Amino acid sequence: MENGHAGKHRVAVIGSGNWGSVASRLLASNTAKLPSFHDEVRMWVFEETLPTGEKLSESINQAHENCKYLPGIKLGTNVIADPDLESAVKDADMLVFVTPHQFVEGICKKLVGKLRPGVEAISLIKGMEVKMEGPCMISKLITDTLGINCCVLMGANIANEIAVEKFSEATIGYREDKEAANRWAKLFTTPYFLVAIVEDIEGVELCGTLKNVVAIAAAGLVDGLDMGNNTKAAIMRIGLREMRAFSKLLFPSVRDNTFFESCGVADLITTCLGGRNRRVAEAFARNGGKRSFDELEAEMLHGQKLQGVSTAREVYEVLTYHGWQELFPLLSTVHEICIGQLPPTSIVEYRLAEGQS
């Protein structure tokens, strides 16, 4: 990879929501210090007009704060918001993707032919679609559309906790290019954010999506039914095992060890300790499944959807298609509960398949 002006790498962040703002802040604290990076972190902002009449990008550049998605936290004066996508990326040789997953394809199409040669990408986006013909890996979409190398960064990363510099870890998954992975790790690592690299991009990226299905069960249903900590731990464990087995069936290159990394067991734990999945699925279970997820999401999430519910449906379609349901009792049962085919209590009423533990 060629470096930018004066041999320094230039970083652009595509996305400025909650996680995008936190990532920009983290990166900017490093680019300001590390000699091999240009200070400035350019952050593409999907422009919005604030209630004050001000533009979001202008507000960020004036206050050095994203008052809409990360209020109260200074981003650093070297984070520059830019509402123009082409302008935001034109000098960058390191691109960080951190938008909702459904926007990536459109963004990539707009970027075709607009990037510098030798640019590298990383995706921080969790929650891909799992289609019948295979999961839509965001890293692959970026690589295929733009012809560039793309790593992923996943982990136990609740954005607001990283914003206030609580100790966290993350995992970078890469394919072959270890040097690129190490450069990303250097760019992201701080004393409160430890980054490990593993050569298993599919395993790392799938963790960030599949954990949402397990969280519906382990955080929401188990808590809503007051089943206690043994049950919660058991469902998390079975879920982690099924995440691993499912990933390995889809990609034989996936490694067991990946599930011991931050992207695996740790992200599952942090997701199951709190968050939207828990609140909505808990309400679902407390109502005995009589109020649908659609209804509860509308009421509790103001129109947002639970990633785990749609991922559970997609995974179920894959399992049904291949006749794998019996191998994945937990993943199957979560979907059957979500659609009202089974009561919430059935989350603990299955047996492990023969030969499994």
Tokens for 95, please give them: 């691109």
| Alpha carbons within 13 A on the beta-carbon side of 114 | 15
* Contact yes or no for 104/96 (Cβ under 8 A): no
Nearest to 114 by CA among 138, 95, 98, 128: 95
**How many whole angstroms separate alpha carbon 125 and alpha carbon 137?**
10
Of 141-160, binders to a second copy (CB under 8 A) are 156-158
The residue from 211, 232, 248, 290 that is catalytic is 211
Q: Is 103 annotated as a binding-site member?
A: yes
Q: Is 266 annotated as a binding-site member?
A: no
The yes or no reply on residue 354 touching a second copy (CB under 8 A) is no
| C-beta closer to a second copy: residue 289 or 314 | 289
Q: Which of 197, 312, 319, 334 binds a second copy (CB under 8 A)?
A: 197
User: Which stretch in 1-9, 83-91, 139-147, 238-246 sits in contact with a second copy by CB under 8 A?
Assistant: 238-246
Instruction: Provide CB contacts within 8 A for 42, sequence distance 6+.
Output: 10, 11, 12, 13, 80, 82, 88, 89, 91, 92
Q: Is 188 annotated as a binding-site member?
A: no
Min dist. Cβ of residue 237 to a second copy (A)? 4
Is 211 in the active site?
yes
**How many whole angstroms separate alpha carbon 281 and alpha carbon 221?**
6
* Contact yes or no for 243/207 (Cβ under 8 A): yes
The yes or no reply on residue 52 touching a second copy (CB under 8 A) is no
Q: Which of 229, 252, 303, 354 binds a second copy (CB under 8 A)?
A: 229
Torsion over CA: 52, 56, 57, 62 (sign): positive
The yes or no reply on residue 192 touching a second copy (CB under 8 A) is yes
The yes or no reply on residue 277 touching a second copy (CB under 8 A) is no
The yes or no reply on residue 256 touching a second copy (CB under 8 A) is yes
User: Which stretch in 36-44, 97-105, 163-171, 320-328 sits in contact with a second copy by CB under 8 A?
Assistant: 163-171
| H-helix or E-strand spanning residue 82 | strand 79-82
Beta bridge partners of 12: 42, 95
The yes or no reply on residue 214 touching a second copy (CB under 8 A) is no
Catalytic residue annotation: 211
- What is the binding site for a second copy (CB under 8 A)? 156-158, 161-162, 166-169, 171, 191-192, 194, 196-198, 227-238, 240-241, 244, 256-257, 259-262, 265-267, 269-270, 273-274, 348-349, 351-352, 356-357
